Amino acid sequence: AMGGSASLIPRDLLAEYQELTFLSKQEILLAYKKFSELLPKEERESACSARVPKSQILTLPELRANPFRHRICHVFSTSEGGDDSMSFEDFLDMLSVFSDSATSDIKSHYAFRIFDFDNDGTLDWKDLEQLVNCLTGQGEESRLSSEEMEQLIKNILEESDIDKDGTINISEFQHVVSRSPDFASSFKIVL
């Protein structure tokens, strides 16, 4: 067919996606191609309205290696049933936030939500423990001892918990991130 996959996204929708994301037209079309390839053949025609199960999203090499892949799916999924499946728009939102063009503020807002494992709006001791476990890997040899874990979390809170209430809220988190120049560049997924 002429025009390849481009023709499958209506032009007005394509323009809207460019407005609403940090993605270029090329990136949106590539995302569409990737997304539709995750669908069974017979659903590809209507990829704009289909949902891809989380298990399929996690097969993307860009996510497979990400220690927070389950949280990422959870935060970006608009699934009513809580199965963390993704629509094409969810998928675009995710790629937009992880793109090079997204602002540091937007990245840190989503990073905070991804790290807030119990979804209660603050990063508490348990969230930080899970965060560290994700980063160090679940393997026995890389796992921290409980003393090391305790010391590390104390250090994190020492650094970040400005009002000393034992948790890190979004503004404290953004403050820390604003002082880490490499944060934005490390928080990305490029297809």
pLDDT single digits (tens) 53-86 = 999 999 999 899 899 999 999 999 999 999 999 9
Is 136 in contact with 143 (CB distance < 8 Å)? yes
Asked whether residue 60 falls in the same domain as residue 115, the answer is no
In order of 2, 71, 112, 126, 176, the CA distances from 171 in angstroms are 49, 21, 10, 19, 9
Asked whether residue 83 falls in the same domain as residue 18, the answer is yes
Asked if pLDDT for residue 12 goes beyond 80, the answer is yes
Q: Which two tokens stand for residue 184?
A: 């934005």
Helix, strand or coil, per DSSP, at residue 87: strand
Number of Cβ within a 10 Å radius of residue 184: 18
- Of 79, 70, 90, the closest CA to residue 21 belongs to 90
| Whole-number pLDDT of residue 140 | 75
Helix, strand or coil, per DSSP, at residue 140: coil
User: Where is the domain boundary, 36, 71, 98?
Assistant: 98
Range of the domain at 109: 104-187
Asked if pLDDT for residue 181 goes beyond 80, the answer is no
Q: Average pLDDT of 2-22?
A: 81
Q: Which two tokens stand for residue 150?
A: 């305790």
Is 58 in contact with 30 (CB distance < 8 Å)? no
Q: Average pLDDT of 125-145?
A: 86
Q: Average pLDDT of 1-30?
A: 83
Is 88 among the domain residues? yes
Confidence of residue 138 (pLDDT cuts 50, 70, 90): low
Is the pLDDT higher at 37 or at 5?
A: 37
CA–CA separation, 88 and 51 (whole Å): 7
Is 30 among the domain residues? yes
- Of 65, 12, 63, 122, the closest CA to residue 77 belongs to 63
| Whole-number pLDDT of residue 1 | 42
Mean pLDDT of the chain: 91
Asked whether residue 93 falls in the same domain as residue 115, the answer is no
Q: First CA to last CA across the chain, in angstroms?
A: 24
Asked if pLDDT for residue 145 goes beyond 50, the answer is yes
Q: Which two tokens stand for residue 140?
A: 């026995």
Is 110 among the domain residues? yes
| Whole-number pLDDT of residue 3 | 47
Confidence of residue 179 (pLDDT cuts 50, 70, 90): confident
Domain tally for the chain? 2
CA–CA separation, 82 and 77 (whole Å): 8
Asked if pLDDT for residue 142 goes beyond 90, the answer is no
Asked whether residue 66 falls in the same domain as residue 15, the answer is yes
Asked whether residue 76 falls in the same domain as residue 116, the answer is no
User: Where is the domain boundary, 98, 117, 145?
Assistant: 98
CA–CA separation, 12 and 79 (whole Å): 25
| Whole-number pLDDT of residue 7 | 57
Portion of the chain with pLDDT greater than 70, in percent: 96
User: Where is the domain boundary, 98, 127, 153?
Assistant: 98
- CATH number of residue 129's parent domain: 1.10.238.10
Is 23 among the domain residues? yes
- Of 10, 145, 144, 28, the closest CA to residue 93 belongs to 28
pTM for the full model?
0.89
| Whole-number pLDDT of residue 136 | 85
